[in-house]
């Protein structure tokens, strides 16, 4: 569905330097593949988000030059992590950057590790989010958060990390409870998470890296 660009959502996607990203995945992926997978996750997430008709643009907050170049090539706008004060500061900075140009923008934070993300499922989440000033979507474990939205004139006020579902609930954000949006909830931190994402069906970049690594293991 095409919408007026002025009504579209701006998504803020945070990405830490690849050398430090997805540390808990090292046991399953190995030290060499881990940063490559972290970038592939982000590429598949951003590509799917940009393919969603309700999304106007995607702003990636990162200081990683290689990731910045790869994600800019997909059409993302890159914003340096000038606060350098952690995930929530990066998200707040990204939201401010969006609203410096569009003061009444609808803004949402989206995890960078959603390699199975489906544009249609993200669209359903954004449609639901548009009904409330501020909403969030819990992760598959119902402990963390993969998505947080703020409508026009509302601060994003991110509280990601650990048991963020409870914090976002306590902050007054409305929890989105939709069936059939598993791809928006399936973030990947561990080997078990990756297996679940692979079962849903990951994007082409993640699939290529994982299949290539599997081939290498078989050949070895």
What pLDDT does residue 1 have?
34
Torsion of CA 110, 116, 118, 122, to 10 degrees: -20
Judged against a pLDDT cut of 90, whether residue 2 lies above it is answered with no
What pLDDT does residue 214 have?
57
Percent of the chain with pLDDT over 90: 87
- Other Cβ atoms within 10 Å of 78 Cβ, number: 18
CA–CA dist 156, 10 (Å, integer): 12
Mean pLDDT, residues 187-206 = 97
Judged against a pLDDT cut of 80, whether residue 215 lies above it is answered with no
pTM over 0.95? The answer is: no
CB 126 within 8 A of CB 105: no
What pLDDT does residue 212 have?
64
* Residue 160: pLDDT band with limits 50, 70, 90: very high
| Average pLDDT across the chain, whole number | 93
What pLDDT does residue 201 have?
98
- Digit-coded pLDDT (tens) for 101-114: 999 999 999 999 99
| DSSP letter, residue 105 | -
What pLDDT does residue 218 have?
44
What pLDDT does residue 26 have?
87
What pLDDT does residue 61 have?
98
């Amino acid at each position: 569905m095409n919408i007026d660009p002025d009504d579209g959502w701006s998504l803020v996607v945070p990405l830490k330097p690849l050398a430090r990203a997805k540390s808990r995945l090292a046991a399953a992926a190995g030290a060499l593949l881990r940063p490559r997978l972290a970038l592939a996750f982000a590429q598949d997430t951003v590509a799917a988000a940009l393919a969603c008709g309700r999304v106007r643009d995607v702003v990636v907050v990162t200081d990683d030059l290689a990731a910045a170049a790869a994600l800019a090539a997909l059409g993302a706008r890159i914003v340096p992590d000038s606060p350098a004060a952690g995930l929530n500061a990066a998200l707040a900075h990204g939201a401010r950057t969006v609203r410096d140009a569009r003061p009444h923008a609808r803004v949402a934070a989206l995890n960078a590790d959603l390699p199975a993300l489906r544009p249609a499922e993200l669209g359903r989440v954004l449609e639901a989010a548009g009904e409330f000033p501020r909403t969030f979507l819990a992760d598959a474990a119902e402990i963390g958060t993969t998505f947080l939205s703020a409508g026009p004139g509302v601060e994003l006020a991110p509280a990601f990390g650990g048991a963020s579902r409870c914090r976002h609930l306590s902050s007054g954000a409305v929890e989105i409870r939709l069936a059939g949006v598993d791809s928006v909830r399936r973030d990947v931190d561990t080997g078990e998470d990756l297996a679940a994402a692979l079962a849903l069906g990951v994007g082409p970049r993640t699939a290529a890296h994982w299949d290539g690594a599997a081939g290498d293991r078989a050949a070895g």
